[in-house]
Chain A
C-alpha cells in the first residue's frame, strides 16, 4: 500500500531557530497518526510543510505518491490535503453554510452564486461523518466545538487524502474530545490519512494508530500506538534517552545536591562543588504566592527559596504558569496573595529573544543600555556615558564569549546562541543577585545550546557575585544537567522533586501528570 503523505529530510529554520532538522515522516492511508512533542518541537511546522503552507529549506514532500512543489498550498490542496488550524480560519459573521461554501470553490457558480444542490451535499456529508453542525447560525455565535465541526466539515467536503489537525483537542472539553475522535475514526475508515498534532499523551494514545514524537525539530521515534506506553512517549518527548543511546551520567547530568527541604547530603555524587560550612544566603523567596494571568495559567500557593550560587530548575510543560512565575520573580507582576522577598533588581532572560530579550536593530552596546540606562554608573549628569556602556559591552562580549560580537555590532547580525549569551550577560550585569532564565536554549542548535548552558552555569559557579538562578525550561535534559534542585510546575503549582527522583522518568511523570 502506498502512503497518503511522505516527508523526507524536511529542514526548516526561522531566523536562527531550527524548527525542523532533517525530519522523515510517513502517513499511511486510513491511519490516525499522532504527532507528539513539546511546545516548539516542530509539530505544527511539520504539518504546515505537508500542507504547502511553509516552504522548507530542504526536503521532499509526496502526496499520494506524487511529489509536490515545496510550499505550494494550491498543489497540496488539489491533491487532497486539508488542514484544520489551531486558530480556526472561519469568517465570524458568516453562517456555517457560508463558511463551508467559501472554502470550496466547486460550490460556486461563475456569477457568484452557490450551485444548486450544494446545501444538500453538505448536509449529506455531515450526516455521513456524524458531524452535528448548525449551518444557519453565524459562526461568531457558535461555541468552540461547533466552530471546530464547521472547520472539519469545510475541510472534508472535497476528496481528502490527508487531513491535518493542529491541536484540535486543546479547545475541547473531555466529552467533546470523544465526539471528535469518533468522527476522525469514521473519516479514517474511509481511507483518509489523519495527522493529529497534540501534546496530551493519553488522548493521542486513545485515538491514534501510530505515534511519532518530535523533539527540538528532530524525529525521535515512530511506533504503533498499541506497542508503546505513555511513559516511553513521555521520556521521548522530554528528552530522556532510551537505554544504550548514550552515556548520560558520564556527561555529568543526574541527581545533584541537596533536596528541597534541605535534606541531608547525598553521597553518590563526585562532581559536587566544595560545600561551604555556612549555607549561602537566600537571595529570593516566595511564600504561598498566588497570581492571576491574563493569558495562561496563573500561580497557586507557590513557595520557593533561591540561594546565592545555586540553580533551581523548574520543569514543566509550557503554559502551566511558568510565564507568570517569571514575571513575579522579575518584579514585573505583583503577587495577588502571599509574600515575595526579592532583590531590587532581577535579571530575566525572557523566552523570546527577538523583540523581548533584545532589539535586533540596536547595537550590542544599545542592547546592554536597555538594562543599565537607569544606573548612575553609566551616566554623567544628564548625559549617558556611552563610553562606559561600550566598555561594559566589550567586557560582556569577552566574558560571555559572544562570537563575532563587538559593542558596535547590530544584535540582529548575531546567531541565536550568541544573542542569547549576550542577553544572559546583560541580565547578569543588571543583577548579581537573582537571574531568571526562561527556556534559554529554545530553538538553538546543539552547539549553541551547550555554549549557552555552559555560560549560565559559569555565572552561578564562578566569580565573586554568584547570583541565584531560577532556570525555567520544558527541556528535561537542560533541567537535569543544570540544576542543583528541581521543582515541577503543574497547573500553577510548584511541586518540589526530592533528590532521589532527579531522573527523567520520575520528573517526566510529574510534568505530564501521567499516573501509573
Chain B
C-alpha cells in the first residue's frame, strides 16, 4: 500500500467490494492523486519562500548588520543572537504583555464574531443584507486607512470620541489624551483590531453555519431540544473545524501584529515600555539594522506562537483524522 487512501472509496468498500480486487495500477493512481493535488501549492510556496526561510535561519546565527548587508556576507556567531535576546529583560516583559494582549484580542474577536454570525441567521433577510453590507464596508477598509481614521476620531485636539463622551455627560473629555498611558494605547489598538477582524470572523462563521443541515436542526427540534441544545449538539460540531481555524489564525495574527499598534500609537511614542512582539522585532532587529538579532527574534516568535497554538493545531489534526 502506498499509504494513501481515498475516503469515499473506503467508505463504500464494505458495500461494494469491487475496488479492492482491482489491479494495482489503480492503487498507484490513487496513491499519486493527493500528491498531485498538493504539488502546485507546494511548488509555489517552496519556490518563493524556501530560500528566504533558509536565509532567515542562517541570519539568526550570524552577525549581520548594515555593514554586512551591503557586502552580502555575515560572520558566524553561533547562538549569540539568541542568548542576547533571551537575556534581554525587555524581551520577557514584551512577551508577557503580548500574551495578555493576544488573549484579550482573540477572545473578544471570537466571541463577538460568533455572536454576530448567529445574529445574521436570526434577522430578517433585509436586515441581513444591511448588516453584511456594513461588515463588508468595515472589512474593505485598508488597515493603513483604518488607522488614520481611528487616530482622527481619537485625536487630542478635536477627536469626535472626546466630543461624544463629553456631550453624553460621561465626564469631561475635552482634550482627553488617549495616548498618554500604555494601557490606554493598547486598549485603543484592541478596539481597532477587533473591529477590523469581526467581519472576517462573522462572515466565515456565517458561511460555515450554512453547512448545518436543516433536517438535523428540525429533527432535533422535533425531539424536543431547546435552542441551546440544538446549538451545542448540532451547530457546534459543524462549526468546530472553522472555529478552531479562526481561533488559531487569530492567535497567530494578533501575536505578531505590527501595523495597527505601530501606526496608531505612532513611532514617536514607541518605547520598550509599550512594545508588542511584532514591534520589538521591528525596532530592535530591523529599525536598528541588526538583522541577525532580528532573525533570531523572528524565529523565537515562531516557536512561541507555535507553542501557544499547539493545542488548537493538535485538535485540528485529531479532527482531521475523525473526518477522514
The finding on whether chains A and B are genuine partners in a shared complex, rather than unrelated, reads no
